[in-house]
Chains A and B, each alone.
Chain A
Amino acid sequence: MSQHAVINTVIALALGMLFGTGLAVSEMTNPALILAFLDIFGAWNPALIFVMGGALLVTVPGFQLMRLRGQPFFAREYFLPQKLQIDTRLITGAVLFGLGWGLVGLCPGPAITALATLDTNLLLFVVSMLAGMLVFRFIPD
């Protein structure tokens, strides 16, 4: 274990709880609410706009603080995505994700936090999602 591994794990646990609390407070754990947001031709509910807006209100200025410090407080470096090109994989992946999201109204974060409902259909969704992630591992780079 690296010198930061323990503190990184404790921080991740706390921030996972904070993130999940945000999902619960904003009711993003409710697939019906997400589908109502996506249903722009029907009974549209704009809640998701305010949730993303609230999040970006913090992350947009917050992420720029990265420039003030050469490294994170508890890591050697920032681990940031290196790809810059908008390629076929990005586009295909986003389309497939959009299809699944529109079909059910669940994306990965809310699906995990909603596990607390112990709903059988939700469990089925999470298992299918993890299966999709496992199958992806067999796709060559």
Chain B
Amino acid sequence: MEYITNSLVGGVLIGLAATLMLLLNGRIAGISGILGGVLSPRQGGLHWRLAFVLGLVIAGFAYPLFSSEALAFQLDAPVWAIVTGGFLVGFGTRLGSGCTSGHGVCGIARFSWRSISATLIFMLTAIATVAIVRNLAGAI
């Protein structure tokens, strides 16, 4: 049951960061949008976007220092899947105007139909993808 507490506490911290981002800076804490903005520096706002991304990286390094545990990480996918998956995540989140944070955490809180639809679509697609890769591919 401990994982439920960790999940909830972590989720609350994520929600707190997204809420403060909106109330203080007036910005949506959507990671794909922020990364996309870093890659399009001419549109302005490069500094806060880079700072947010840097904060995400620092948290990854800092967490093991302040907790007794290493950063949870286990990646078993083959290289072709990593390259294809990475490309699809980058391209898809930009084309679809958001990812788990922008659509899932922020958009749903704004009661945006676009975000609610996008979240349902990427969740269902990902579930179907895992089902095909794990169950069907394994059966062949």
Q: A49–B129 Cα gap in the complex (Å)?
A: 19
* Docked-complex contact B135 and A100, CB < 8 angstroms: no
Q: A63–B16 Cα gap in the complex (Å)?
A: 10
Which B24-61 residues sit within 8 Å CB-CB of chain A?
A: 24-29, 31-32, 35-36, 39-40, 47-49, 51-61
Known: A12-B25, A38-B130, A72-B23. A131 touches B90 (CB 8 A): yes
Tell me the nearest residue of chain A to B118, going by C-beta: A94
Q: A39–B133 Cα gap in the complex (Å)?
A: 10
Q: Closest approach, in angstroms, between the C-beta of B123 and any C-beta of chain A?
A: 7
* Docked-complex contact B12 and A54, CB < 8 angstroms: yes
* Docked-complex contact B73 and A122, CB < 8 angstroms: yes
B72 in contact (CB, < 8 A): yes
Q: A13–B19 Cα gap in the complex (Å)?
A: 15
Write out, one digit per residue, whether chain B residues 7-23 have a CB within 8 A of any chain A CB (1) or not (0).
Answer: 11111111111111111
Write out, one digit per residue, whether chain B residues 73-117 have a CB within 8 A of any chain A CB (1) or not (0).
Answer: 111110101111111111111111101110111111110111001
Q: Which residues of A contact B94 (CB under 8 A)?
A: 93, 132-133, 136
Identify B16's interface contact among A18, A49, A71, A136, CB under 8 A.
A18
Interface residues, chain B, with chain A CB atoms under 8 Å away = 3-4, 6-29, 31-32, 35-36, 39-40, 47-49, 51-64, 67, 71-77, 79, 81-97, 99-101, 103-110, 112-114, 117-119, 121-131, 133-135
Q: Which 5 A-B pairs have the closest CB atoms?
A: A16-B55, A93-B96, A54-B11, A26-B10, A20-B59
Interface residues, chain A, with chain B CB atoms under 8 Å away = 1, 5, 8-33, 35, 38-42, 47-60, 62-63, 65-66, 69, 71-81, 83-86, 89-109, 111-117, 119, 121-122, 124-137, 139
